[in-house]
Amino acid sequence: MTAPLLELRDIRKSFGGVTALDGVSFQVLPGEVHALVGENGAGKSTLMNIASGVLQPDSGSILWDGQPAPELDPRRARQLGIAFVHQELALVPQLSIAENIYLGRHPTTPRPVVQWRVMLERARQLLAELGRPLDPSLPVSRLSVGEQQLVEIARALAFHARLVIMDEPTAALSEHEVARLFEVIARLKHRGVSVIYITHRLKEIYQTADRVTVLRDGRHVITASVCELPHDTLIRHMVGRAAQDQFPPPAPPPSPTTALRVENFTARGRFHDVSFSVRRGEILGLAGLVGAGRTDLLEALFGAAPADSGRLWIHERPARIRSPLDAIRLGMALVPDDRKAKGLILGAPLIWNVVLPSHRRFLIRSAEERSQTESIARELRIRAVGFDQPASSLSGGNQQKVVLARWLLARASIFLMDEPTRGIDVGAKAEVYELIRRLASGGAAIVLVSSELEEILGLAHRILVMHRGRVAGELPREQATEEAVMRLATGGVA
């Protein structure tokens, strides 16, 4: 077998008495794509932070090219050729592509004076090698998320990275952008660059990875060739039990009563002339490519963003929503696409985040508030040390459950859910799917946005597809296939 490029041996790490890694060993070979998977809290991020020098292990050893790399720090990791492309991209929007690629390390003359022309040409060559000949003088603010991710990868290659760690690289990408990313990864592999690929989207492992390592509860479970590890077996290794059906049984047929009706909703430059209705007990899927206007539409319906025109009826009564407070009073809930930026007060305790829209029903820090929060936390199986634990310290799946718990406590009847399973593990996804079904069975109306087509197809009674801010078509559950949805999402005819 080829000698490993990176080898971590018997790594142990604890935080305040809580064991994050318990004797984990991990190897990456030259020129391989190695997937790293596990539920939230399995230890993936901690292991990669140690591999990139951000954290020091309590014990264990790190080897690079067969040589010990003691007391590895981020600077030394960069010198060795280790680059980390985080899920939350670290770019300066106001600067150009080239300036971001060479940020802090601009090519200079001996004086020193920045060699702008040299920098632009080098950036242009890097982008061309990655298959995307973008203009390197463009400001990063004008790029799509997928293009910004490419800039991060180009930054790594500009300084001869031999190992690129990608953390949830497709979380905010469209299907088209995901395909482009896989092409870039194939180019990296062809050049002999190794990639560690962290994802919760298990189908991507079979599309791009050579080997996969599973962590569970801070321990190494298995490392195997992807072709030797069927999907159901992979899930069993991740969650420690046999794989169940991914989606719960379909929710019962919806009531004939309309819960939400939208007519000719328009926000210039974002979406135009959108009309639809959702019945009580119905899950309405809202599909489309990134940028199709789905998030803008949901935020405008909730009063979090302005709309220019359009009319709303809630439970068959005309409604005017000018702010989220109006929406909450009318029984609406928004589960936003970015829980950290839009859904949580990260520094505040868990209990504050849960009771936020319901505070008028409770006295501050009342026993009733705590009792009802505890009941919902048990129902959703939120794992936390206590209700005063800050939301920032919870895993991604538990953070998402806190957002959902908020609206259960508020007794919402209309749920606008934007990417409710983004960035959470397979076990937490199954729990969210079951909750969505249970809400619909109890009479709630749900508008579900997801970039994962299997979620829309597996949960929705009916699917609307958006293309460039307009409704391109509607598909009943019986006629909905990935091909039919993508045809409408790309401007074709069903």
Q: What does the chain come to in residues?
A: 494
Distance CA 83, CA 51 (A): 10
Query: How much is the pTM?
Result: 0.71
CA–CA distance, 453 with 490 (Å, rounded to integer): 14
CATH number for the segment(s) 6-239: 3.40.50.300
- Residue 490 exposed, middle or buried by CB count within 10 Å (0-12, 13-18, 19+): middle
Give Dmax (Cα) for the chain. 76
Q: Angle at which helices 396-409 and 426-441 pack, to 10 degrees?
A: 10
- CB 103 within 8 Å of CB 95: yes
E strands present in 29-117: 33-37, 59-64, 67-68, 82-85
Domain with CATH 3.40.50.300 in the chain: 6-239, 258-489
pLDDT of residue 143: 83
- State the pLDDT at residue 134: 85
Question: Which residues of the chain are modeled with pLDDT < 50?
Answer: none
Please state the separation of Cα 185 from the chain's center in Å: 19
Task: Say which residue the tokens 């490419």 belong to.
Answer: 150
Spatial contact of 25 and 11, defined as CB atoms under 8 Å apart: yes
CA distance 172 to 451: 8
Tell me the CATH number of domain 258-489, given options 3.90.960.10, 3.40.50.300, 3.30.565.10, 3.65.10.10.
3.40.50.300
As a whole number of angstroms, the distance between CA 164 and CA 185 comes to 10
Give the separation between CA 309 and CA 311, rounded to whole angstroms.
7
How far is residue 255's CA from residue 338's CA, in Å, rounded to a whole number?
A: 31
Rounded to 10 deg, the angle between the 145-158 and 175-190 helix axes is: 10
pLDDT at 71: 83
In this prediction, residue 360 carries a pLDDT of 63
Rounded to whole angstroms, the Cα distance separating 167 from 83 reads 11
Question: Do the Cβ atoms of 333 and 412 come closer than 8 Å?
Answer: yes
Q: What's the confidence (pLDDT) of residue 424?
A: 81
CA gap 41, 424 in Å, rounded: 10
pLDDT given for residue 408 in this prediction: 92
Tell me what pLDDT residue 438 has.
Answer: 93
Q: Report the alpha-carbon distance of residue 54 to residue 56 in Å, rounded.
A: 7
Chain mean position to CA 31:
26
What end-to-end distance do the CA atoms of the chain give, in Å? Answer: 50
Could you tell me the CA-to-CA distances from 438 to 254, 277, 429 in Å, in that order? 13, 20, 14
For 262, the token pair is 């939208």
Chain segment 448-481, per-residue pLDDT in tens: 999 888 899 999 999 999 998 999 999 999 989 8
Q: Which two tokens stand for residue 146?
A: 């997928």
Cα(297)–Cα(307) distance, integer angstroms: 9
pLDDT at 351: 87
| Helix-, strand-, coil-residue percentages of the chain, each rounded to 5 | 35, 25, 35
CA distance readout (Å), 54 to 5, 66, 83, 165, 194: 19, 21, 12, 13, 19
Strands 445-449 and 283-287: parallel
> Contact, 265 vs 300, CB < 8 A?
yes
Give the closest residue to 456 by CA, choosing from 439, 471, 436: 436
List Cβ neighbours of 446 (8 Å cut-off, separation of 6 or more): 278, 282, 283, 284, 414, 415, 417, 436, 439, 440
- pLDDT, tens only, 16-68: 777 889 999 999 999 999 999 987 778 898 999 999 999 999 999 999 999 99
